[in-house]
């Protein structure tokens, strides 16, 4: 990186902040124009984005269109529809003893926002927070993941032509570039990625007291009790697990199946995988690839930690890992502790849900939790045990595509949330205009204080303060 490029990046947050101060908080109409420009970019370059996603991850065109582009288009349309309502000032008046207080609260942009995207959904997870940031009235600097280079370069080329750098700018580069950006004086940082990197981003941001939103991951448990089994339920779980070759932060991580339906479930999982991807999934055009060599090796190591019931084959040159089902996991294996984030599904039998929940085998603060059941007591027990912000009953994945639901983590799965109104709120802060109109001055609030004033305060506290 040249000295000129270095200087440009370091000064860009201040330039964006000054430009916002000069032009003022953007109107709803201006923000909508920016969002609709983004919508036009997605529609006009859809084929190019699909090709880039296939180059980076081997994504089927249908998955790229449905789980990346369509989700973004729906988000833009939803935000544009509701933006005026979200931006309306909230006014209230309160009568006090001696005065009336008038309060007006409005949402205000932070100013310059840094967005660091992830490689597993390199388009959606990069532009979705940008939609929230733009909706909040901010200027953005976007750093796509270097592990999805085709998508990153395409974003840089298209977005930097469409927007001036003072409004929105895409920067490509490796971890060193990301470190440089997180040390720059941004007003808010949004990061999607691993817990390890998320900690480093938060630590760097803390040096400048920059607020951070972290979207991390977790071992999302999926439970199927004896009342929740059906071929449709198994099909849904298999689809959700192996979508994007398992590289989805809200994918079912490990499937816990009641012992009475365990073998039946395994047989149906195998049938579903055969129906989805055929007998040679490597030749299927509907199954993606592992993004990096290091992640490929991690999946290979995981496969060796149990008995392969289905799949298990892999091709390093193609970064292909077959959809794999594991049973009889060795106690203490890393696959039981670490987020899998790939096409390897451990299926573990259990006898009693209460015993399973108390065993410590489930990550309570995972990004989401899944349960397939018609037993209300079992569902409620699971809900009370989990700390996850979202619990999905008899369905997987779909909740993350809804703009009506805040998407975010808690504890090890991150903090802060976005999507829909939650995104607008995450990328703006409340600014209050406070005024008082006095009709009687209470002199007792000024020193020197007296016992009489103290007694008056105790009796009239609710009206004085």
Query: What's the rounded Cα separation, in Å, for the pair 310 and 326?
Result: 7
Q: Kindly list the distances between the CA atom of residue 42 and the CA atoms of 121, 190, 393, in Å, as whole numbers in the listed order.
A: 15, 22, 32
The residues, ordered by sequence, that sit 6+ positions from 94 with a Cβ below 8 Å of its Cβ are 100, 101, 103
Task: Kindly tell me the burial class for residue 443, based on how many C-beta atoms sit within 10 Å of its own C-beta (0-12, 13-18, 19 or more).
Answer: exposed
The residue assigned the tokens 């084929």 is 47
Of residues 449, 447, 439, 445, the one with CA closest to residue 464:
445
Q: Which residues contact 367 (CB under 8 A, 6 or more apart)?
A: 216, 217, 218, 220, 249, 250, 388, 389, 390, 409, 413, 414
Q: Can 222 be counted among the known catalytic residues?
A: no
Annotated active-site residue in 249, 268, 272, 291: 249
3-state secondary structure of 5: helix
Q: Which of 63, 75, 215, 339 is catalytic?
A: 215
3-state secondary structure of 321: strand
Q: Under a CB-based contact definition with an 8 Å cutoff, are residues 226 and 204 in contact?
A: no
**Residue whose token pair is 């339920």:** 233
Gap between the Cα atoms of 278 and 57, Å rounded: 20
Give catalytic status of residue 249 as yes or no. Answer: yes
Distance CA 220, CA 200 (A): 23
Which residues are marked as active site? 215, 249
């Amino acid at each position: 990186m040249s000295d000129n490029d270095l200087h440009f990046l370091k000064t860009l947050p201040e330039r964006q902040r000054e430009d916002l101060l000069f032009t003022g908080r953007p109107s709803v109409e201006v923000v909508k124009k920016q969002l609709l420009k983004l919508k036009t970019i997605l529609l006009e370059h859809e084929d190019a984005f699909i090709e880039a996603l296939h180059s980076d991850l081997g994504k089927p065109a249908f998955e790229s269109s449905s789980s990346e582009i369509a989700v973004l288009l729906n988000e833009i349309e939803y935000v544009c529809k509701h933006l005026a309502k979200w931006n309306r000032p909230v006014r209230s008046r309160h009568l006090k003893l001696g005065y009336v207080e008038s309060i007006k609260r409005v949402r205000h942009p932070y100013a310059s926002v840094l967005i660091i995207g992830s490689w597993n959904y390199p388009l959606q997870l990069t532009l979705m927070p940008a939609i929230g940031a733009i909706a909040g009235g901010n200027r953005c600097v976007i750093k796509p993941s270097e592990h999805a280079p085709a998508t990153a370069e395409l974003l840089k080329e298209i977005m930097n032509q469409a927007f001036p750098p003072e409004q929105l700018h895409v920067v490509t580069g490796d971890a060193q570039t990301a470190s440089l950006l997180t040390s720059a004086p941004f007003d808010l940082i949004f990061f999607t990625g691993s817990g390890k990197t998320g900690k480093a981003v938060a630590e760097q941001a803390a040096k400048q007291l920059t607020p951070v939103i972290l979207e991390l991951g977790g071992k999302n448990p999926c439970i199927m009790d004896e009342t929740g089994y059906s071929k449709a339920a198994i099909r849904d779980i298999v689809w959700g697990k192996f979508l994007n070759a398992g590289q989805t932060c809200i994918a079912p991580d490990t499937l816990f199946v009641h012992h009475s339906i365990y073998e039946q479930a395994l047989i149906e999982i195998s049938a579903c995988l055969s129906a989805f991807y055929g007998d040679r999934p490597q030749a299927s055009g509907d199954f993606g690839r592992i993004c990096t060599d290091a992640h490929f090796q991690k999946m290979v190591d995981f496969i060796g930690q149990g008995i392969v019931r289905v799949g298990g084959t892999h091709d390093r040159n193609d970064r292909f890992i077959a959809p794999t089902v594991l049973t009889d996991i060795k106690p203490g294996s890393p696959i039981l502790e670490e987020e899998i984030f790939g096409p390897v599904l451990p299926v573990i039998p259990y006898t009693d849900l209460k015993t399973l929940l108390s065993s410590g085998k489930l990550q309570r603060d995972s990004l989401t939790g899944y349960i397939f059941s018609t037993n209300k007591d079992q569902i409620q027990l699971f809900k009370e045990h989990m700390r996850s912000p979202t619990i999905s009953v008899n369905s997987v994945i779909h909740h993350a595509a809804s703009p009506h639901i805040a998407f975010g983590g808690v504890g090890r799965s991150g903090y802060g949330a976005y999507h829909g109104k939650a995104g607008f709120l995450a990328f703006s802060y409340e600014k209050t205009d406070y005024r008082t109109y006095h009709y009687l001055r209470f002199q007792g609030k000024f020193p020197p204080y007296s016992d009489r004033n103290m007694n008056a305060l105790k009796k009239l506290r609710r009206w004085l303060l």
